[in-house]
Structure 1
Amino acid sequence: MASTPTEHLSTTSTFPTRQRPIPYSAAIGQHTSLSSILPPLIFGTATFNHQYNSDPFALDTAGLVTSALTHGIRAFDTSPYYGPSEELLGAALATPFVRETFPRPSYFILTKVGRISADTFDYSASWVRRSISRSLERLHTDYLDLVYCHDVEFVSPSEALEAVRELRRIRDEEGKIRYIGISGYPIDVLGDMAELVLRETGEPIDAVQSYANFTLQNQSLASVRGIQRLRNAGVEVVPNASPLGMGLLRRQGVPVGSLGDFHPAPKELRAAVREASNFCDRHGEKLEVIALRWALETWIESGASCGSKGDPASGLPWTRESNDDVGGAKLGVSVIGVSNSAELEKTMLVWRSILDGLEGGENTAVQAGRWYRAWEWSRNRKAAVRMLAEEVQEILGSWFGYAWASPDEGFVNQRQKEPSSEEANAPWLTPAASPEATPLEGGELEEKSLPLR
């Protein structure tokens, strides 16, 4: 696997020796505001998992992470639930080149606790401690920037509150955590939990990550019961994950890894998405490109009230950009995921173009020696994407705004006992021991690209 980046023709600077740290300070009862330093574009590593790829160990994860860093990405989201993701990300961040060029304080690591498997959750204080210790070891770090309680809708409010309290104890007494959040799918549950934490502890939760709730298909995160309610509960940052609805909004359909078709979207919704994809094809576009750009570009504004002024990724190799370079306002935070270098390159091109269209983008492009009409092109592209997005939503019809159940009716947490040390640290299956990938209708295996949760 490649562990060092390839110099691009557009690069004008030499390789820097060390990147500067993200400014952070902490005192008793006070620390740097998360919304002042969290990067607005986060690299999600759920793709480093058997759900999205038949063999995550075959991915060039070291090359992907290194390339992401050189293009300005300074935050990585993972979870113990994402199969070998923590270990693969940790190994990528531990290569000699990354350690020397990107010191640990120069990027964020976000992970999670509580979800063990599809039907097993443990939010107890003892498991939280164990999970944090394991994550620190896997990620080769002595602190975690942000830790979420993973998928809070699957446990009781009291269980989630216990986990939050323990995470805060670890933050205050051990210094191994800087910020604490919750994540999940149902908007109402996230709002209930954020309000409960504030009411019971007197301290708001730092971040709430929602997934698949601000996409071309479902925009409930931007509603009054979404981001406005969370803001009223004192939540500082609301990252929007899975802008493609866990891979639903793609020409190829939902991703199918070695664990089979896990996606909860019903067949009727999938059929409507295929019709929308065909519409995009007729206009020379890919559904996933329209969906990705629309979600990233629109959330920058819609999510700004719970956004961040952290440095955005420039999208260009070895080119740093500050929030002031793109207008100085808060930007809604998004989480994107890729499986290969081509996807990363395309995503960063889209992101760069979006930044060019922001206030200050025109001057930034000119000063950087890029196309003097980059701002104009970005604004025109935004209008074109919006037109196609509106038609896609009309094609989706009654499926626009649909949210699947999470958890399914009758769900029972299978957590019965404290796992043994061997069970807790059991290695993840390699492809030789994993189920075969499930073929799609027509007999072809699913091509993996651009999910993500």
Structure 2
Amino acid sequence: MASTPTEHPSTTATFPTQQKPIPYGSAKGQRTPLSSILPPLIFGTATFNHQYNSDPFALDTTGLVTSALTHGIRAFDTSPYYGPSEQLLGDALATPFVRQTFPRNSYCILTKVGRIAGEEFNYSAQWVRQSVARSCERLHTDYLDLVYCHDVEFVTPDDVLEAVRELRRIRDETGTIRYIGISGYPIDVLGDMAEMILQETGEPLDAVQSYANFTLQNQTLAGPRGVQRLRNAGVDVVPNASPLGMGLLRRQGVPVGALGDFHPASRELRAAVRQASDFCDEHGEKLEVIAIRFALETWIVAGGFVGSKGDPASGVPWKQESNDDVGGTKLGVSVIGVSKASELEKTMLVWRSILDGLEGGEATAVQAGRWYRAWEWSRNRRKAVQILAEGVQEILGDWFGFAWASPSPDYVYQRKQDSKDIEDADAPWLTPAASPEPVPIEGGEVGEEKNLPLR
């Protein structure tokens, strides 16, 4: 289980005793639009799982969540499919320190329903009800801010429609859910589903989350098949998840956890990414640094019209910042995932610098006592990153804009029986003692894998 959080020097400054609530309201069936309150930087906890880490129980998940909150992050994304992620996140949010300082209404919890395991799905109304109740129990909360139907490309449109209708029934009758969306990988499938739901129900989705489709390697989400089509279907917010392409865009390559190499990228695509990493090295940069900054900074603008005016994470310990402080326009919403405190610290430094470069950033930096040239530095850094990003895209060649098949061509969908109880379907989580050895990588190459990717 996660350890007790360690108070790092960056989190020991004087701080308010209690953080302010997110201004959500609901009256006569009208809810505050998600796009006015969802924070534009979301902490994704897919890393709290065995696919990204050999032993997620050994991670200081409590310390990570606490540090994220102190740096201004006010939204967390998880899923029952991410192994122990919901429980680890829930336990971290339930510590006395967090409960006293960050009331439940001061942050958002986003989770999912429908995906059970690698090739197991159940979108039935019965399963959705049980899954929502279990998520609330694991996360120690009375309500969920946003619930996605997880990986809709693996099931039928009728399945998705059934699940969405049940989620809306729960929303309207119990208030356990506030907003509803879908998530997945193939851009065209997400567009098809969003249009179908609007046509069949007369109500658009609050959110559609895509992953690995706005990165250094693939920017399809920003095009007409992506955000424009989703916006035309009435979707309010389109979060961009996995800006590193599920770990593909890293100097050390894809992460290999206790369950082996899960990534669907071919050896040819991985080889092209290694060449791009070498190119970044030649210019004194790490591929992942360029990739994360490019995706976050560019999506703020490219995804702005399907973004949000929620308070951005300031990146500065115990410094609250509003959307008005960084220009007052909607910002594209991104989901980041980290496993270590050092990764979080670096990501927050990048995010802070990106905010400094937005409209009003110069005055905000001066007012906050930061370097008066932070805005200028951010703008110049943006230009340098853009130049290297274009170089990376040239090296990727035909692999730029490529999307792998999801699901694989040989996938056969078999719906789980509705009568199966959710407790019976829960496989025990791997403990440190039971964790298998990682799959060896021979010669630095990885053969084809049939495992489905994790989000």
The 3-state SS of whatever aligns with 1:344 is: helix
Give 2:347's aligned amino acid: T
1:267, distance to aligned residue in structure 2 (A): 0.4
Give the TM-score normalised by structure 1: 0.96
- Aligned match of 2:193: 193
CA–CA separation in structure 2 for the residues paired with 1:139 and 1:291: 31
Give 2:8's aligned amino acid: T
1:111, distance to aligned residue in structure 2 (A): 0.1
1:390, distance to aligned residue in structure 2 (A): 0.1
Give 2:10's aligned amino acid: H
User: Is the 8 Å Cα contact of residues 336 and 452 (structure 1) preserved in structure 2?
Assistant: no
User: Is the 8 Å Cα contact of residues 243 and 452 (structure 1) preserved in structure 2?
Assistant: no
- Aligned match of 2:318: 318
CA–CA separation in structure 2 for the residues paired with 1:101 and 1:420: 37
CA–CA separation in structure 2 for the residues paired with 1:442 and 1:159: 43
1:299, distance to aligned residue in structure 2 (A): 0.1
Percent of residue pairs bearing the same amino acid type:
79
Q: Does 1:147 align with 2:147?
A: yes
- Aligned match of 2:389: 389
User: Is the 8 Å Cα contact of residues 111 and 144 (structure 2) preserved in structure 1?
Assistant: yes
Q: After superposition, where does 1:272-291 map in structure 2 within 5 Å?
A: 272-291=272-291
Alpha-carbon displacement from aligned partner over 1:85-117 (angstroms, at most 9, x marks no partner): 000000000000000000000000000000001
Alpha-carbon displacement from aligned partner over 1:172-203 (angstroms, at most 9, x marks no partner): 00110000000000000000000011101000
The 3-state SS of whatever aligns with 2:65 is: helix
- Aligned match of 1:434: 435
The 3-state SS of whatever aligns with 1:162 is: helix
Q: After superposition, where does 1:11-410 map in structure 2 within 5 Å?
A: 14-410=14-410
User: Is the 8 Å Cα contact of residues 148 and 183 (structure 2) preserved in structure 1?
Assistant: yes
Q: Does 1:2 align with 2:4?
A: yes
- Aligned match of 2:450: none
CA–CA separation in structure 2 for the residues paired with 1:257 and 1:419: 30
Q: Cα distance 1:395–1:443, how it changes in 2: closer, same or farther (>3 A)?
A: closer
Count of aligned residue pairs for this structure pair: 446
CA–CA separation in structure 2 for the residues paired with 1:7 and 1:416: 49
Give 2:4's aligned amino acid: A
Give the RMSD, CA atoms, in angstroms: 1.6
CA–CA separation in structure 1 for the residues paired with 2:444 and 2:285: 25
The 3-state SS of whatever aligns with 1:432 is: coil
1:29, distance to aligned residue in structure 2 (A): 1.6
User: Is the 8 Å Cα contact of residues 242 and 452 (structure 1) preserved in structure 2?
Assistant: no
Q: Cα distance 1:107–1:4, how it changes in 2: closer, same or farther (>3 A)?
A: farther
1:363, distance to aligned residue in structure 2 (A): 0.3
CA–CA separation in structure 1 for the residues paired with 2:380 and 2:444: 40
CA–CA separation in structure 1 for the residues paired with 2:327 and 2:343: 27
CA–CA separation in structure 2 for the residues paired with 1:139 and 1:325: 32
CA–CA separation in structure 2 for the residues paired with 1:376 and 1:15: 29
Q: Cα distance 1:444–1:217, how it changes in 2: closer, same or farther (>3 A)?
A: closer
CA–CA separation in structure 2 for the residues paired with 1:391 and 1:170: 49
The 3-state SS of whatever aligns with 1:245 is: coil
CA–CA separation in structure 1 for the residues paired with 2:317 and 2:144: 26
Give 1:58's aligned amino acid: A
The 3-state SS of whatever aligns with 1:91 is: helix
The 3-state SS of whatever aligns with 1:433 is: coil
Q: Cα distance 1:433–1:419, how it changes in 2: closer, same or farther (>3 A)?
A: farther
Q: After superposition, where does 1:414-433 map in structure 2 within 5 Å?
A: 414-417=414-417, 418-420=419-421, 422-433=423-434
1:248, distance to aligned residue in structure 2 (A): 0.3
The 3-state SS of whatever aligns with 1:401 is: coil
CA–CA separation in structure 2 for the residues paired with 1:194 and 1:137: 29
Question: Which structure 1 residue ranges, 5 or more long, are not aligned?
Answer: 446-450
CA–CA separation in structure 2 for the residues paired with 1:141 and 1:427: 22
Give 1:250's aligned amino acid: R
Give the TM-score normalised by structure 2: 0.96
Give 1:373's aligned amino acid: R
User: Is the 8 Å Cα contact of residues 114 and 150 (structure 1) preserved in structure 2?
Assistant: yes
CA–CA separation in structure 1 for the residues paired with 2:416 and 2:149: 19
The 3-state SS of whatever aligns with 2:284 is: coil
- Aligned match of 1:448: none
CA–CA separation in structure 1 for the residues paired with 2:431 and 2:98: 26
Give 2:326's aligned amino acid: V
